[in-house]
Amino acid sequence: MTIQQLQQRLADLHAQAENIQAKADCENRDLTETERDSINVLFGEFDDVERELQTRQRLERQQTRMAEPQPRKTPPAMRRTNEPYPSGEFAPQPIPYPGEPSSVVSSFRAVLAQGRGQTDGFASLSQFMRAATEAPKGIQDPRLRVARMEGQNEYEGGAGGWMIPTQYIVEILEQAFATAGLLQRVRTIPMISNALNISGFGSHDHSGGYAGITGTWTGEAQSITVQTATVRALNLRAHKLAFLLKASNELLTDVPSTGSELAVTMGEALAAHLEGAILTGSGPGKPIGVLESNAAVVVTKESGQTAATVVWTNIVKMFSRLVPASHRTAVWIVSQSTLAQLLTVYRPIDDSGFGGSNGIVGGVPVIATDDAGGFRMLGLPVLVSEHAPALGSQGDIALFDPAQYVLGLKPQMAVETSGHVFFNTDETAFRLIARGDGLCRYAQAITPANGGDTVSPIVVLGARA
C-alpha cells in the first residue's frame, strides 16, 4: 500500500471505532462485550497499519536524502532540459538513457512539491474531509483553513469554503499524473507569475546556419564576421482550468472515503485534460497542442491507400521526417482505434537482395513489446492516447519529441470544498483550479542544411479517408 492508502486506512479504522463508541454514547450505555472486542480488533489493526506507515515514511525520507545532488566529479554529457535559468533559457543536464523518460518528471514533481509538508494538523485526507463535511452543521474544527491563497485573489473561495492541505493536494496530483505518460515527458516549468517568457527557435532554415549563425574558418589574426543569433520569445499565459463537483452530505457521511475519492478523481481529470490540451489544444485561452502546431509536418497517405488503414510506408516516411536531434527522445502517440491496424502491420522481407527470386517472403511486426510491457515502434516508445483523433483522421498517429514542448504550470493548484454553495440541496461542493499554458518551441518545420524535405520534432500522419 502507498503512504496515502495507509493514511486512508488509518482514518477509516479510527472512524469505525468512533462510530461504535458514538452509538453506545447516544444510547447512554456502556459498550457491550461484542462492541469492546470489535474496538480492540480495530485498535490492533490500527497499530499494525501505523507501524507499516512509519516504515514507508522512513524509507521515503531516506530516498529523499539519497536523491540530493552530490558535488560533480566529472563533467557529464550535456543537453538542454527543463530547468530554466533566470533568463528563461534552459540549463544543461546529463543526457538520459535512451528510452527512459527525461528529467522533466523530477521538475514536474518539483512544481507540485512546493506545497509538500503542510497538513494543517490532519492525519489524512479523509480526516480533513470529515471535518469539512461537519463544518456546515456547526461542528467547527479549528484546523480548517478558509479557502483563500495569499496574494491570489482569483483562488478566493466563497463563504464556508475550506482549502485542502497542500500536502494532500500534492499526493492527489502525483498519484493522478503517475500514469500520464505524455505529461511526464514534456518540459514543465513553474510559473511564478501569470505570464512567462522564454526563448525559442527563431530560425528554421539550417541552410543558412543553425539559429541564423554561420561559422567561419579563419586564420590567425584574421577578422571574424559578426552575426546576430535569431531567437524568438515564447509567451506563456496562465489560463485557468477548473472543475466543480458535488456530492450529497448523506453519501459523504455514510461512506467516509467518498470525499477523498472525489478529490483523487478530480486530480485524474486534471491530468487527462492537460494531456488532451498538450495534444489537441487549439488556443487561445488554452495551450496550443502538438497537432495544432505550425511546426507539424504532415505525411500524406500512399497513392491508392485504402481508407482508415495504416501501412508500413506510412511509418517509415514519418520517421524520415523527424528532425535528427529528436531521434533519441521522440515518442509515438497513437489513437486507441489505430491499434488493430498497427498490430497487423509488418515490415516486409524481400529475398531478392540476397540472390532469391521470390520477392516478399515474410515480414517483421512493426510494433514490439519492451521489458516493461509497453509498445515500441522503430525503437521508440508508443503512447496510446484517447485524445488522439480516430483512425483515418489526420493525427491519429503522431511522432513527437516531448522535450520540444513547454508546459508552464502555476504551483498554486487549489483543491477546495464548501458546504455552502449547494446549501439548499444539502450537498457539498468540491472545486479544483489549475492554471497554465503550453506550446512547441519551434514555430515551423526546419529546412535541413543540405536542403530536401523539411523535418520537425512533430510529424503527423495525414488523413486516409
CB 189 within 8 A of CB 196: yes
What CA–CA distance (Å, rounded) separates 289 from 334? 15
Inter-CA distances, 452 with 207, 300, 355, 456, Å: 10, 17, 33, 13
- Beta strands 458-461 and 414-422, pairing class: unpaired
> Nearest Cα to 160, choosing from 249, 270, 268?
249
> Nearest Cα to 167, choosing from 150, 145, 142?
145
> Nearest Cα to 293, choosing from 305, 282, 308?
282
**Stretch 269-285: mean pLDDT, rounded?**
92
Strands (E), 99-182: 161-163
What CA–CA distance (Å, rounded) separates 443 from 212? 15
Helix H or strand E encompassing 272: helix 258-280
Q: 49 Cβ partners below 8 Å, 6+ apart?
A: 6, 9, 10, 13
What CA–CA distance (Å, rounded) separates 383 from 331? 7
pLDDT of residue 340: 94
What CA–CA distance (Å, rounded) separates 86 from 101? 25
- Beta strands 414-422 and 231-237, pairing class: unpaired
- Helices 166-177 & 104-113 angle (0-180, nearest 10): 160
The pLDDT tens digits of the residues spanning 80-97 come to 333 333 333 333 333 333
What CA–CA distance (Å, rounded) separates 249 from 133? 7
What CA–CA distance (Å, rounded) separates 42 from 17? 7
Residue owning grid cell 479504522: 13
Distance of CA 425 to the CA centre of its chain: 35
Inter-CA distances, 269 with 114, 119, 322, 347, Å: 21, 23, 31, 38
What CA–CA distance (Å, rounded) separates 213 from 199? 16
User: Where would I find the H helices in 27-103?
Assistant: 33-66
The pLDDT tens digits of the residues spanning 106-145 come to 455 555 555 556 788 888 887 887 787 777 777 778 887 6
The pLDDT tens digits of the residues spanning 382-435 come to 999 999 999 999 999 999 999 999 999 887 777 778 888 888 888 888 888 889
DSSP 338-378: GHHHHTT-EEEEEGGGGT-SS-EEEEEESEEE-TTS-EEET
pLDDT band at residue 353 under the 50/70/90 scheme: low
pLDDT of residue 265: 85
Residue owning grid cell 491508392: 304
| Strand ordering across the sheet containing 297-299 | 297-299, 458-461, 397-400, 331-335, 380-385, 375-377, 367-369
pLDDT of residue 27: 79
Distance of CA 408 to the CA centre of its chain: 12
> Nearest Cα to 335, choosing from 276, 274, 397, 382?
397
pLDDT band at residue 61 under the 50/70/90 scheme: confident
Entry pTM: 0.68
| Residue 220 half-sphere exposure toward CB, CA atoms < 13 A | 0
The pLDDT tens digits of the residues spanning 441-464 come to 888 999 888 888 999 999 999 999
Residue owning grid cell 483523487: 264
- The more confidently predicted of residues 157 and 264 is 264
Residue 74, pLDDT > 60, answer no
Distance of CA 109 to the CA centre of its chain: 10
Q: What percent of the chain has pLDDT over 70?
A: 78
**Stretch 204-208: mean pLDDT, rounded?**
70
